[in-house]
Amino acid sequence: MIQMKNVYKKYSNGIVALNGMNVEIDQGEFVYVVGPSGAGKSTFIKMMYREERPTSGQMFVDGIDIATLKNSKVPLLRRQIGVVFQDFKLLPKLNVYENVAFALEVIEEKPEEIRKRVLKVLDLVGLKHKARMFPTELSGGEQQRVSIARSIVNKPKVVIADEPTGNLDPETSWDIMRLFEQINKSGTTILMATHNREIVNSMRHRVIAIEGGLIVRDVAGGDYGYEG
């Protein structure tokens, strides 16, 4: 599903964020990406949906060559990938239904198919009854549920999440994690950067630890492994 071979990323300010990374992630895996602040986790995640481009090395996501992909083809890649952010990134002028439908409207899906799929994912995240509400009328947890609904409405093979529980209280974070587990059980690959030790130590999955732009640990069912 995801392959990286000697991926190196140097930002224009000279900072090396990824220093020759090698990794393989299979379809259906659930992977946590952990590590200290500034280790390169977000850069690693951003490569997956071509928010950043490798400086050198080879990288494939669902068979798509990320390093050489033309900018004009990036929207095609992003249709195969769901992305969830710490700060939700919902469109404030659109209601819940419209925020989720938007992902399908841009690819010109048929209206009846849009309606069916949006209602189905809103039901899955438990927000069908709030479809007409606006993001500002929702709690943080509810907003994150909308963003998860949006990320899966295209039926992507992989969902990438950068600190999805970073802005949520502990109880809400567990709810959101249960949702990711459910999505993963249906066969979707999940790749999640997180600082949440309790969650990583309790909902066990593969753990990739990054330090100084390199993978320093890669353990199936591993623990968070950092203090504090």
Ligand X SMILES: Nc1ncnc2c1ncn2[C@@H]1O[C@H](COP(=O)(O)OP(=O)(O)OP(=O)(O)O)[C@@H](O)[C@H]1O
Binding segment (CB under 6 A) for ligand X, from list 10-18, 22-30, 53-61, 115-123:
10-18
Q: 216 with 208: CB under 8 angstroms?
A: no
What would the two tokens of residue 217 be? 């640990």
Rounded to 10 deg, the angle between the 111-124 and 140-152 helix axes is: 140
Output the smallest distance, CB 87 to ligand X, in A: 12
Joined tokens for residue 78: 């992003």
The nearer residue to ligand X, 33 or 121, going by C-beta atoms, is: 33
Nearer to ligand X, 8 or 134 (CB): 8
Cα 166 to Cα 141, 151, 171, 211: the distances in Å are: 11, 17, 12, 20
CB of 16 to ligand X, least distance (A): 8
**Which range in 11-19, 72-80, 123-131, 217-225 contacts ligand X by CB under 6 A?**
11-19
Site mask, ligand X, residues 194-223, x = CB under 6 A? ------------------------------
Question: Alpha helix (H) ranges present in 130-228?
Answer: 140-152, 170-185, 197-202
CB of 55 to ligand X, least distance (A): 12
Q: How far is the CB of 193 from ligand X (least distance, A)?
A: 6
CB 136 within 8 A of CB 59: no
What is the dihedral sign for C-alpha 137, 174, 3, 186? negative
Q: According to the binding rule CB under 6 A, does residue 226 interact with ligand X? A: no
Q: How far is the CB of 211 from ligand X (least distance, A)?
A: 9
Span 32-71, contacts to ligand X by CB under 6 A: 35, 37-43
Helices then strands, each counted (H, E), the chain: 7, 10
Of 4, 17, 127, 176, the residue at the interface with ligand X (CB under 6 A) is: 17
Tell me how far, at minimum, the Cβ of 70 lies from ligand X, in Å: 21
Q: Quick one: 141 exposed, middle or buried, by C-beta within 10 A (0-12, 13-18, 19+)?
A: middle
Helix, strand, coil tally for the chain in percent (to 5) = 35, 25, 40
Q: How many residues bind ligand X (CB under 6 A)?
A: 12
The span of 30-38, 69-77, 98-106, 119-127 binding ligand X (CB under 6 A) equals: 30-38
Q: In the complex with ligand X, which residue's Cβ is closer, 15 or 91? A: 15
Q: Which residues bind ligand X (CB under 6 A)?
A: 11, 13, 15, 17, 35, 37-43
